[in-house]
Structure 1
Amino acid sequence: MKKLILTVAILASGISTFALSNTILPSETISVVMNEEFKEIAVDKLPAAVTSAVEKDFASSTITKAYMNSKEQYKLELDVEGTATTVYADKEGNWLEESAVTGAKKEME
């Protein structure tokens, strides 16, 4: 009789574990978007034409980060009076539209 009760108890506990559902949902989704076209470079490695274009057109700004792609197009992150701005230039210091830059992707917020 003890074996019968013990067997029923073991079977009941085994069946009940399958009846439980996992209702834990992730509370937050994190998306990481990497743009492999641009590689970060040191700001002092920028061509003189690019730095002079920044000094001329964005006099009150500082270059915080610089990136370069295989076509020698530059993505510059500027700090303009406390506001972060991203601009694109070619190696001659000409400003480029984001849509004309190879590898530039618009981020969705």
Structure 2
Amino acid sequence: MKKLFITTVFALGSLTAFAQEEQAADATETATEAVAQDAFAEVALEEVPEAVTAMIETNYPGATINKASKNEANQYKLEVSLEDGTSGALIVDEEGNAVQQ
């Protein structure tokens, strides 16, 4: 069941758009610019809160966190590999709760 959940999260995560458009109008024309939806900056794996690593260890035994990034809302984007060779990304808050996008 846990593998089904992580597979679903990975599938949905890959379909999520990472940019949105925002329109700005001035007196003569309307311009459109792309705005990054997720401003995650890479952090050292040691900086990931214990609650997050404990959630990964509990829900995905044997999983390895390969890369971690953090945004201003203290959400972590984790690139994770499972023992069966599959990999994907999860976004969780600092307490280890999955973040819906």
**TM bucket normalised to smaller:** 0.5 to 0.7
Structure with a larger share of its residues in strand: 2
2:78 is matched with: 76
RMSD: 1.6
Which residue in the other structure is 1:86 paired with?
89
For residues 47 and 81 of structure 2, the distance between their equivalents in structure 1, rounded to whole angstroms, comes to: 18
Separation (CA, whole Å) in 2 of partners of 1:55 and 1:95: 14
Q: Name the count of aligned residue pairs.
A: 65
Out of 65, 68, 89, the position equivalent to 1:66 is: 68
Name the counterpart of 1:42. Answer: 44
The structure with the larger Rg is 1
Residues 1:55 and 2:84 aligned together? no
Structure 1 gap ranges (5+): 1-32, 100-109
Instruction: From the two aligned structures, give the one with the greater helix fraction.
Output: 1
Alignment identity in percent?
A: 38
Q: Which runs of 4+ in 1 moved over 4 A?
A: none
Give the AA of the match of 2:90. Answer: V
> TM-score normalized by structure 2?
0.60
**C-alpha displacement of 1:44:** 1.0
Gaps of at least 5 residues in structure 2 are: 1-18, 20-35
